Structure formats: structure tokens, C-alpha cells
Structure 1
Amino acid sequence: MRSRWWVVGAFAGLGVATQVSWLGYAAITTESARYFGVGEGAVGWLANVFPLLFVALAVPAGVALDRFLRPTLAVGALLIAAGGIVRVLADSYWGAFTGQGLAAVAQPVLAGAITRVAAAYLAPEERPLGIAVGAGGTYVGMILAIGIGTAVPGDVPVVVGIGAGISVVTAVAGVVAVGVAPGYGRGVAVSPLGVWREPGVVRLSAVVFLGMGIFVALATWLEPLLAPRGIGADTSGLLLLAMLVAGVGGCVVVPPWAARRRVEPRVLQSTGLVIAVVCLALGLFPSATGFVVSPLLGFMLLSALPVALAMVERRDPDKAGPVTSLVWLAGNAGGLVVSLAVGWLLGAPLLAFGLLAVLGLAAAWLARLQHHEDQVPGPGRHDQLAGGGEAAVRE
């Protein structure tokens, strides 16, 4: 059985399209509000609908993926394309909101498919890199979304049209990809709610809750947090861009390295400590440290998610799918909660950065407990699977 990397690449492309849809209006918020004749708060809901629907749909999406992998993936791809087409054809705020809603329904399907696609189409030893590629696609999508809005300022229809084009092209590739039969088994369907009782799942979900929450809070509020220190929006945007670019590199390098050495909990622990140091540096000395610490933060923080997902997949491939859905649910919930908390502290930037530093230390402490309880045994299930072969996937 050969690994089918092009299938993994196709679904990484859909991850790109998902993020472009999510953040498509973020870089042109003011222009979009003027174009649609609504307030900036209304434009914000074009992005907020994504985490809200993710939290609501993560578990049912996980069940559908486990029972009907390829049909569910095809539906997710078609929803992404439909969302882009609606945004272009219905040139109004409510048309944009409807298109965003369609794409938001697809997001928990495509995010939850990262470990499932890797398990179904890649050999066990290649899955950590495949998971990293899938997760890295989401960060590439963020970069593209910010880049498109920056490169075409003020022209809302053009920005929306480019994003829709990306959605349609990647959806076509995704539909073609699901026509390929998986070469590796995915085990049996397991209830996402049932895996809460598995050792380490709640703790790992808490780590991702904090990590993704910190990232979403920084991505949302970095500019107003740094503005009182004399750092303009352009510089804040470059800091965020440096964080994302470094994060893509981290996704390629860190997860496979951590998997080979079985040190995933230690990597997560180190990430929490780096978050604490970097947030304190940004709060105290942003002008002097910003362009030094932002890439470091992105490299560690954004690679932490695929590290966690690869750890889950290696520990028990049969349960990796539902655990992935729960981890993503926890991460999106963290994005909402931590971002809201930091938003209340915009008038006290140093206190906001201090809160993020404390949350980073909490994530490091939880990851340390994960390591000491040895939640990821040395050889893992893959050694058993490699010796005995894997069953054909149930379609």
C-alpha cells in the first residue's frame, strides 16, 4: 500500500480555503462596513460565525466523519464552494452572511478530517508530517486572507471574488480526492463523547483550549494592545504576518521531529513557557522585541496543534478521529473565551499580556502533567498495526 500524498495535499488546500473564508473580511472591515451599509460590529459577525458554529457542530461532524468519511468530506468541500459562490452572487451583507454560514458549517468537517485523512491515506510513519501539512494549510490560509485584503485595499468585490475562486478550485480538488479509495484502515467508529473518559484527553483538550485561545486573542487584539505604546496598525500587521509565516515553518519541522523522539508533551510544555516569556516581552518592551519574539512565538505556538494531533493519532489510531473533533472543539471554545477576556482588558494592555502569559504557564503545567503520567507510550499502536496490517476502510 502506497501513501497518497496528493489526497492529503488536496484537503490541506481546503483548509486554506476555510481560513480565507473565515478571515476574508478581517483586513477590510472598515471598507466592508461602508460597502454594505452596516456597522463594523456587523462585519465582525462575518468572522464570529465560524467559531460559534464550530463549537456547535464539532461532535456531529466527528460522528459523520467516522461513519461516512468520503461522503462527509465531499459535502464539506461542496459547502466551501457554495459559500464562496453565494458571497459573489448575492452582493449584500446578508448574502455575505449566508455564504459565511455555509463555509462555517464546513469548517468542523474539514478541520476534524486532518487526522482521519492522514490515517486513511498515509503509512503510519508518515502520518505526523501529513497531520502537520493539514494543520499548516490553515495557517497558510490566514496568511493569504490577510495578504489579499492588504494587497487589494478598499475593493470589497475583488477581495471576495478572489476568496471565492480559491474556495471553488480547492473544492473541485477535494471532490476529486474523495474518489480515491483509502489505502489504510481507520479502525472502528467511536463516539466522540465516549472518548472524554480516555486517559489524558481532557488534559490535552485543556492545553489546546489555552493555546488556541492565546493565538486567537493575539490575532484579534494585537493592534489595539500595541497602539498605546506607539506601534501602528501596519507594524502590528507585520508582526502578525511574521508570526504566521514562522508558524507554517514550525508545522513542517516540529511535529515530525517530536514524533520521532516521542517528546510531544515536552514540546507542548516548552511552547507554554515560550508563550509566557514572549507575552511579557510584548507587554513590556514591544518596540525593542516585537520582530524578534513574534516569529519565535509563531514557530512554537502554531506548531503545537499538529504536535497534539499527531500525538493523539499515534497513541490510538482507532480513537484519533473523535479525539481530534473534541480537541478542535476545545480550541475554538478557547478562542472565544480568551479573546473575550482580553477584549475586556484593552484599556490595560500590560494586564492583558500578563493574563496571556499566565495562561501560557498554565498550559505548560498541564503539558508537564501529561508527560509525567506517560499518556503517550513509547512504541504506540502503530507498531502493532505495522506488524499485523490494517483493515480496509469502511466507506
Structure 2
Amino acid sequence: MRSRWVVVWAFAGLGVATQVSWLAYAATTTAAAGHFGVSEQAVGWLANLFPLLFVVLAIPAGVALDRALRPTLAVGAVLIAVGAALRVTVDVYWAALVGQMLAAVAQPVLAGAITRVAAAYLRVKDRPLGIAIGAGATYLGMITAIGIGTAIPDDVPLVVAVGAGFSILTAVAGLVALKVAPGYDRVAAGSPLAVWRAPGVPVLAAVVFLGMGIFVALATWLEPLLAPAGIGADTSGLLLLLMLVAGVAGCVVVPPWAARRSAEPRALQLAGLVTALVCLLLGFLPKLTGFATSPLLGFALLSALPVALAMVERHDPERAGPITSLVWLTGNAGGLVVSLGVGLLLDTPALAFALLAVLGVGAAVLAARLQRHEDQVPGPGRHGELAGSGDAGVRE
């Protein structure tokens, strides 16, 4: 059977729409507070809903995806569209909050489906690229959201309308694409909690916890961390955009390369070490190194997530779905924890960047444990050992 790329691309569009919804007000926080007559903290909750609800809903969403993939994805697409329509048609704060909540409920469904869609619609050899496209779409969505807000900084209704129009169009495209039946059998995997203690899964989840934690902390606090060095908000915003653009490129290039060479753990190790080095340079020499190192950081750090997800799908396709849900859950939890920790160190930027560097080294050490496990399993079938059962249950 041939791969059904139309579904993957439609699904990636929904991934972009999710991030556009998440950051709909992020680039216009002050203007949005004045527009709605609320505090900036209240506007911040329009974004904070997403990681909070993700942690709560990741496992139930994973169960629903395993039991009914296409209907669950359709519900996610409808929630994105309805939330967007509500934000546009009712221009008050409570409608913005409810609209964001609907999109936030859809996020764990769409994020948790990255490996599931690849497994259901793509041939085995195409799956690393399909997973990379799905994960890279989340970063592309961040770029889109920040770009819309930066281009229209003072017109909140127009910013929301542009993002909402895109979300509705991608939701419709996703619903149409889901009429295509999966080409490959998927095995029902049971409860996601049952895979938590599978060999390698806790270590991989810990790597993603640290990696996503570092990224979310940088995305949240880069501007105030660089301000004491005389770097303005416009420059720090450009550095973040460079990081995201390079990250999208990394998502397309690194996971297929690592999969062809069975080098996923080494790619994760390298990402951790590069992240640590760049964080130290940003902490102590930001003006000299910012523009040179931020793309390198994005390329290495942001590509680590699709590398991890592709590794899961190749090692244990039968349980890749629930493992993916757990990995996303721990990653979002890492985002909350690390971001809160770095937020306490804003008065000492060098210490905050040093903390992020230590976490990067920690991720590299954990990835080395995954590599040692790989090296101890002889023969070409060793990639069936991360979570136990190889390619059982998947037919082409």
C-alpha cells in the first residue's frame, strides 16, 4: 500500500492551528488587556490554559485515540473551529476564555495523535518523516502566531480574526481528509498507564521532560533574561523567531537522518550538549553570541521531540500511541516546572541560564542510558527493545 500523505499534511495544518490558538494573544498581551478591560495576568491565562489542561487530559485523550482514531481527531478539529469562531463573533473576555478552553481541550488530542496518524496512514519507511512533519507543525504554528501578532500589534480583533480564519480552514480540511480510511492496521494498546514502566519509557520521558522544559522556559522568559544585558524586546523576539525557524528545519532533517542510522539516542545526547553550551553562551556572552547560537539551539533542541517520538514508533509500534501520550504529558509538565523555576531567577539571568545548561547536560546523560541499552542488545532487531515488542501488530 502507498502512504496517504494528504491526511498527514491536513493533520499538520491542525497542529499549526492549535499553536495559533494557544498564542493568539501572546504577542498583544498589553493591547488585549486594554481591549478587554482586564489585567495582563488575566490575558496570560488565555495561554496558560493550554499546558494545564494538557497535563490533565493527555491520558484520557490517548485512550480515546486508541479506541477511535478518526472520530477523536474529528472532535479535536471541531473544537478548534468552534473555539476560533466564538473568539471572533463574541468580542469579550469571557468568550475569549471559553474559546481558548475549547482549543486547549483539542490540543492533547492532536498532539497525542502524531505517531498514531503516521502509523495508520504511512508506510514504515515514511513514518519518521511523517512524525517530524507533525511535530514541526507545532513550531511552525508558534512562528505563525508570533508573526501575526507582531505584524498587527495594536488591533486585537484583527489578530484574532486572522488566526481564527486559519484555524477554521484547517479544521475543515482536516475533517475532509479524515474521510480517507487508514491503510495500515493499528493494534489497540489499552491504558496508557500500563506502559509507564516498560523498559526505556521512564528514561525517554525524563529526556523529553527536561528538553521541553528548557524550550518553554526560554520561550517564556527570554526577553526578561536578556534585558539586563542591554538586549531589547525586539531583538530577543527576533532571536526566538530564529530559534523556531531553525527548529522547523531541524524537525524535517534530523529525525529521518537519525532513524536511517539507528542513532536516535545519540541525536538526543547531542541535542542536550548543544543546548547546554548555547545556554551558557547566552548567559555570559549574549550580545556576542545571540544571533550565532540561537538558530543552533533551535535546530538541536526542537528536533529532539520528533526524534524521541519516531524512536517510540519504530521500537514499539504496538504501544507507540499510549507512550506518545505519556511523553507529551511529561513534556508539558516539564514546561510548567522548569518555566516556574526559571521565573524565580529572573533577577539573576546568569544563574537561570546556568540552570538550563545543567538540565541540558542531564538530558544528555539520560540519553546516554538509552544508547547503552541499544548497544547491549545485539542484532538488527534491537530496536524492538525500547518498550518490548518490536513490530508486532503492524502490517503493510
- Counterpart of 2:103? 103
Aligned positions of 1:43-62 closer than 5 A: 43-62=43-62
Deviation at 1:303, TM superposition (A): 0.4
Deviation at 1:375, TM superposition (A): 8.4
Closer, same or farther: CA 340–165 of 1 in aligned 2, 3 Å: same
Give the stretch that moved more between structures: 230-239 or 368-377. Answer: 368-377
CA distance in 1, matches of 2:375, 2:25: 41
Deviation at 1:385, TM superposition (A): 5.3
1:154 partnered with 2:151: no
Identity over aligned pairs, percent: 73
- Counterpart of 2:280? 280
**Cα contact 2:318–2:391 (8 A) shared by 1:** no
CA distance in 2, matches of 1:203, 1:335: 17
- Counterpart of 1:194? 194
CA distance in 1, matches of 2:384, 2:174: 29
**Cα contact 2:265–2:367 (8 A) shared by 1:** yes
- Counterpart of 2:368? 368
Q: Which runs of 5+ in 1 are unaligned?
A: none
Paired residue type of 2:111:
A
- Counterpart of 1:226? 226
Aligned positions of 1:54-73 closer than 5 A: 54-73=54-73
**Cα contact 1:311–1:376 (8 A) shared by 2:** no
Aligned positions of 1:83-232 closer than 5 A: 83-232=83-232
Paired residue type of 2:118:
A
Paired residue type of 2:374:
D
1:298 partnered with 2:303: no
Closer, same or farther: CA 389–197 of 1 in aligned 2, 3 Å: closer
Give the secondary structure class of the aligned counterpart of 1:240: helix
1:390 partnered with 2:362: no
**Cα contact 2:271–2:304 (8 A) shared by 1:** yes
CA distance in 2, matches of 1:180, 1:373: 39
CA distance in 1, matches of 2:49, 2:184: 35
CA distance in 1, matches of 2:193, 2:90: 38
Paired residue type of 1:303:
S
CA distance in 1, matches of 2:127, 2:186: 12
**Cα contact 1:18–1:103 (8 A) shared by 2:** yes
Paired residue type of 2:279:
C
TM-score, with structure 1 as normaliser? 0.96
- Counterpart of 1:323? 323
Closer, same or farther: CA 162–376 of 1 in aligned 2, 3 Å: farther
CA distance in 2, matches of 1:43, 1:114: 29
TM-score, with structure 2 as normaliser? 0.96
Q: Deviations over 1:147-179 (max 9, x none)?
A: 000001100000000111111000001111111
Paired residue type of 2:45:
W
**Cα contact 1:80–1:103 (8 A) shared by 2:** yes
**Cα contact 1:199–1:375 (8 A) shared by 2:** no
Deviation at 1:290, TM superposition (A): 0.2
Give the secondary structure class of the aligned counterpart of 1:374: helix
**Cα contact 1:114–1:135 (8 A) shared by 2:** yes
- Counterpart of 2:338? 338
CA RMSD of aligned residues (A): 1.6
CA distance in 2, matches of 1:282, 1:375: 35
CA distance in 2, matches of 1:389, 1:365: 32
**Cα contact 2:315–2:391 (8 A) shared by 1:** no
Q: Deviations over 1:261-299 (max 9, x none)?
A: 000001101111011100000000000000000000000
Q: Deviations over 1:327-382 (max 9, x none)?
A: 00001000000000000100110000010000001101000011101289644459
CA distance in 2, matches of 1:322, 1:112: 8
Give the secondary structure class of the aligned counterpart of 2:272: helix
**Cα contact 2:186–2:394 (8 A) shared by 1:** no
CA distance in 2, matches of 1:314, 1:174: 25
Q: Deviations over 1:206-253 (max 9, x none)?
A: 100000000000000000000000000000000000000000000010
Give the secondary structure class of the aligned counterpart of 2:186: coil
Paired residue type of 1:348:
T
Give the secondary structure class of the aligned counterpart of 2:359: helix
CA distance in 1, matches of 2:163, 2:188: 37
CA distance in 1, matches of 2:390, 2:46: 46
Closer, same or farther: CA 214–253 of 1 in aligned 2, 3 Å: same
CA distance in 2, matches of 1:200, 1:311: 11
CA distance in 1, matches of 2:209, 2:197: 18
- Counterpart of 2:263? 263
CA distance in 1, matches of 2:15, 2:146: 15
Give the secondary structure class of the aligned counterpart of 2:56: helix
Deviation at 1:55, TM superposition (A): 0.1
**Cα contact 2:57–2:105 (8 A) shared by 1:** yes
Equivalent residue pairs, number: 390
